[in-house]
Amino acid sequence: MRTIRITRTARLPDPIRISRFRKAPELGPAILFFSGGTALKGVSRILKNYTFNSVHLVTPFDSGGSSAKLRHAFRMPAIGDLRSRLMTLADETITGHPDVYRLFTYRFPADGPRPQLQQRLAAMVKGKEPMVARIPNPMRRLIRTQLGYFQEAMPKGFVLAGASIGNLILTGGYLNNHKHLDPIIFLFSKLVNVQGVVRAVVNNDLHLGADLEDGHRVVGQHLLTGKEAPPLKSPIRRLFLCDDNGELPPSGMPTIRKKTRRLIEKADLICFPPGSYYSSLIAQFLPRGVGAAVAANDNPKIYVPGLGTDPEQIGMTLDQTILKLLEQLRKDTGQDCPTQRLMNFILMDSKHGNYSSPLNRQITESLGIQIIDTDLVTPGSPNRYNPEWLAAALLSLC
């Protein structure tokens, strides 16, 4: 077998190419995204109409919301973003088991009395609760098994109010599979016919820590994003992985698994997408092996900068986000790794988009990065990419 490298002229958008993908999404391109946050929800939902092969690597380091309750109770990775992306990519037609979809997206009432919620969970485990009862076997049996493992391990004071049933099923499957995420993610994907691949970048129970320019240290992703705590007052100097006490892993940074590395190396296009800059994007490259896998891929690598105000990018220009991303990747590849192995294009809409600063094109030219400046933002909505336009641009570049 001989491998050769070819180039082509791309048209944005390319209606012929997009139409071909639409007719045979099972043969669509493997576009890999380093993101698990909500910024890609709309794009992901549109992409499944064109390809069933997109790859979504998600960080399991969240420490807020309902994930925090599960992490505290079971000393496990965060699964909320994983569940959210799985459900976004799920088949929502009749062939995708709508009863399973409804159960997996259901949350217990936030104000539900504790005894009543415990009774409902027990009824689900027994298969008597209506939402579970209408699901046919063997799917119902598989779901009951995972919920049963969760119920058995649930701490005495665990609060079920507001809990996502999908999260409880994932947690039960995690415990059932000797604290491994991949088997239950695979089962979850099959139950709702997920049209893509979703995987945690690593399966470790770790948290995000950040050293700030003012000398302070912050531990916990929820303290970085500005969503559940006051925004940071000082720029982030260094991001790292640690336990919930801020201690570094005794064995050093975790290494990605071989199958995750292969997904990165074989992707038809790698996208560094918009989202929380540090906690959603840069965090992906903290585990060992990620940067090297990116560099080993000969296909296009595209950075789509975030829009609007990102509390994590305090004091950062658009140029600095590019340089920081390259710097983080080179911590794994070595400082002599050529930029062309790590980033080829910046996809943006400078006319309609609200970026942190203008782009200094002299910097990108010196790096050999090509700017693709095209319509991606609906006029009048400068803080949000139009998901259909962004999806079309990415598909056109495959």
Task: Measure the CA–CA gap between 90 and 232, rounded to whole angstroms.
Answer: 35
Was domain 15-59+203-396 assigned CATH 3.40.50.2300?
Answer: no
Which residue, among 297, 319, 327, has the nearest Cα to 371 in the 3D structure? 319
Give the 3-state secondary structure percentages of the chain, helix then strand then coil, rounded to 5: 45, 10, 45
Q: Which helix (H) or strand (E) holds 325?
A: helix 318-333
DSSP state of 232: P
Domain boundaries defined on the chain: 15-59+203-396, 93-194
Question: Using N-to-C axis directions, what is the helix angle for 80-88 and 65-74, rounded to 10°?
Answer: 130
List the chain pLDDT tens, one digit each, 398 residues. 777 777 888 889 999 999 999 999 999 999 999 986 788 999 999 999 999 999 999 999 999 888 889 999 999 999 999 999 999 999 988 777 899 999 999 999 999 999 999 999 999 999 999 999 999 999 999 999 999 999 999 999 999 999 999 999 999 999 999 999 999 999 999 999 999 999 999 999 999 999 999 999 999 999 998 777 888 999 999 999 999 999 988 888 899 999 999 999 999 999 999 999 999 999 999 999 999 999 999 999 999 999 999 999 998 999 999 999 999 999 999 999 999 999 999 999 999 999 999 999 999 999 999 999 999 999 999 999 999 999 999 999 99
Which segments within the chain are labelled E, that is strand?
31-34, 55-58, 197-200, 207-212, 217-219, 236-242, 269-272, 301-303, 345-348, 370-373
DSSP 179-227: S-HHHHHHHHHHHTTBSSEEEES-----EEEEEETTS-EEESGGGTSSS
Which segments within 39-183 are labelled E, that is strand?
55-58
Task: Measure the CA–CA gap between 346 and 397, rounded to whole angstroms.
Answer: 12
Contacts of 213 (CB under 8 A, 6+ apart): 234, 235, 236, 237, 315
Task: Measure the CA–CA gap between 110 and 312, rounded to whole angstroms.
Answer: 29
